[in-house]
Amino acid sequence: MASALKNQRIAVAKTYKLYIGGKFPRTESGRYFALEDKRGVVIANMCRGSRKDFRNSVVVARKAQSGWAKASAYFRGQILYRIAEMLEGRREQFIAELILQGSTPRAAEREINRSIDRLIYFAGWADKYQQVFSAVNPVSSSHFNFSVLEPTGVISILAPDDSSLLGLISNIAPAIVGGNTCIVLASESMPLCAVSFAEVLHSADVPGGVVNILTGFRAELTEFFASHMDVNAVIYCDGGKAVARTVQELAADNIKRVVARTRLDWAGSDAANPYLISDTQEVKTTWHPIGS
């Protein structure tokens, strides 16, 4: 008995933290919520992110945005590809977390595979969506006129509650591949993967501030995600009419673009097409005279 104990190794549990500006702080509020498994055993004490955490995230996201938008499409594509590489290397950890959150082993394996492939998919769009969506416009006057896409700016994302990794990635990847930066509220009921994914982002050399991930309560944080005056677009994926109304009403204060991704099949082409990129892009049209 004693020798058995002597040989037993105590596992090191991870502290799940927030991801803001390329760093992993705890919530400034000092609050937590306990995540339990089906039997009621505490898996982790998650950070219960606050309004202040969100506001701090907007500041760093704004700061990072112009530099990220200026990076070449090739570079952004490689960063997304790198995220996929890092995720592939940590498959087992994510499978374990998905199972811990209630997934079956088979479903967990499917989700990680799809997640990795989704990143590759959007990585490939980095230097292509512009070609698909831009235009040279044949105006009648003697001008050269063209329309290109530019990132909308800073995006707040209320990630889907029911798809903690694939849904998360299907929202982050199209936003950042197009040069936006974002602040993401992770799934409330299954928040583990999101924090581990932040570590993946970090090790993939995603510049600090480009993606910021918070954990916390939907009911508390939604209004801040929708109302912040320095956020240019808000994406929401859950909730009924009441949530839609709240988000859209508050978004109107600074004419945010509102993207509803409710009832999406995260595994299908709904969540894998370039229109998810153009959702958070602005069309800029430039005129110049042709002549001497």
Note the residues at the interface with another protein (CB under 8 A): 132, 135, 137-141, 143, 145, 147, 150, 152, 232, 241-242, 244-249, 251-255, 257, 269-270, 273-275, 282-289
Closest to another protein by CB, 109 or 282: 282
What Rg value do the Cα atoms of the chain yield, rounded? 20
Token pair recorded at residue 58: 């907007």
Closest to another protein by CB, 82 or 256: 256
Minimum distance of another protein from residue 173's CB (angstroms): 17
Minimum distance of another protein from residue 90's CB (angstroms): 32
Minimum distance of another protein from residue 87's CB (angstroms): 26
Percent helix / strand / coil, the chain, rounded to 5: 45, 20, 35
Check: CB of residue 84 under 8 Å from CB of residue 115. no
Rounded to an integer, what distance in angstroms lies between the CA atom of residue 49 and that of residue 58? 14
Minimum distance of another protein from residue 166's CB (angstroms): 18
Q: Count CA within 13 A, CB hemisphere, residue 101.
A: 22
DSSP characters over 22-65: TB-PPPTT--EEEEE-TTS-EEEEEE---HHHHHHHHHHHHHHH
Torsion sign (Cα): 245, 250, 255, 259: negative
Tokens 């993401």, residue located: 184
Closest to another protein by CB, 2 or 242: 242
Rounded to an integer, what distance in angstroms lies between the CA atom of residue 164 and that of residue 162? 6
Minimum distance of another protein from residue 59's CB (angstroms): 18
Closest to another protein by CB, 81 or 133: 133
Closest to another protein by CB, 18 or 182: 182
Minimum distance of another protein from residue 289's CB (angstroms): 5
Closest to another protein by CB, 13 or 135: 135
